[in-house]
Copies of this chain bind each other. A is one copy, B any other.
């Protein structure tokens, strides 16, 4: 097992601990009031949850969040996630593929296309790697080796800063992003890992030509916390670990700064109602990571059951809010 693989497993264990979640900061979604319409003028089963994202059809505006890859357990997790995504017609974001580029044996854990031939599949690499030599070629390889539709670049300076030997050389990152985007013939996304994108970062990303954004805001899993749990077994700098832009706020400011960009809401999305509210704040789809980790350790069916309940809640929310489809919630014109 490589160092990187072992690290992945420790990350999974840390994520399962309740201390991996923000303790004081919340997503802010709890303060968003969901409308209630006692006479909805709708049939609930006719509420249309389908949408398209990055050109691919989704049966619900939902992606499984970027989590893992690399270790044996990761292969199992990814297979379960992929099978559930295929059955339900939702998207799947994979975990960082760096391990697979560096250790060819790790590739298999990312090969989920056989289980999910039709889904929107999104690869993953770290922004910090771009400044350490990774470029358009590696990214293109990362996408093509696993048959992904797109790839998300995660920006995680706080996580790196709290990591022993983390990559904290970020000078030149914007220029490097531009360069790389230009050389990759697939859509690239920018995401955080739980501390949020700001309006300013959204504008930088637009300038660099990124195709979509995932706010990955504060209020759910804090990778600063995960990193300290992995390193010290406990959270040593609780103040720093609460830094971040709450998901609801990140959505509002990013959407205002980039009205047209395809936008994923993630970070603390825990129920179908959270998802509905995130759409109302301007997201096109939502992504959920940690709540799916436990079911993914069990089976594809467990993942499916969790997602089905989530999607049902989302449907109920749209029905009682009087929204006939996703576009009616997001305020975009619908078909």
Contact = CB atoms under 8 A, between A and B. Distances in A.
Contact of A245 (B36, B39, B239): B36
A169 B43 contact: yes
Interface string A120-158: 000000010000000000000000000000000001111
Contacts of A42: 170-171
A198 B38 contact: yes
Interface in A193-222: 195-198, 200-201, 204-205
A59 to B, nearest CB: 19
Interface string A49-91: 0000000000000000000000000000000000000000000
Of the listed residues A44, A198, A200, the one surrounded by the most CB atoms of chain B closer than 10 A to its CB is A44
Given A240-B313, A240-B316, A313-B237, A170 B39 contact: yes
Number of copies: 4
Contact of A43 (B43, B171, B239, B309): B171
A273 interface: yes
Contacts of A239: 270-274, 313
Interface in A266-315: 270-274, 309, 313
Contact of A316 (B40, B161, B270, B319): B161
B168 A38 contact: no
B240 A40 contact: no
A38 B192 contact: yes
Contact of A317 (B37, B169, B177, B243): B243
Given A36-B196, A157-B319, 17 more contacts: A36-B243, A37-B198, A38-B155, A39-B157, A39-B174, A39-B204, A41-B173, A43-B168, A43-B171, A44-B157, A44-B168, A161-B320, A236-B309, A239-B271, A239-B274, A240-B316, A243-B320
Number of contact residues on A: which range applies?
35 or more
A200 B37 contact: yes
A320 B42 CA distance: 47
A38 B157 contact: yes
23 contacts: A34-B243, A36-B196, A36-B243, A36-B244, A38-B156, A38-B157, A39-B127, A39-B155, A39-B157, A39-B170, A39-B205, A43-B170, A43-B171, A44-B157, A44-B169, A44-B170, A45-B168, A157-B319, A161-B319, A237-B271, A240-B313, A240-B316, A243-B317
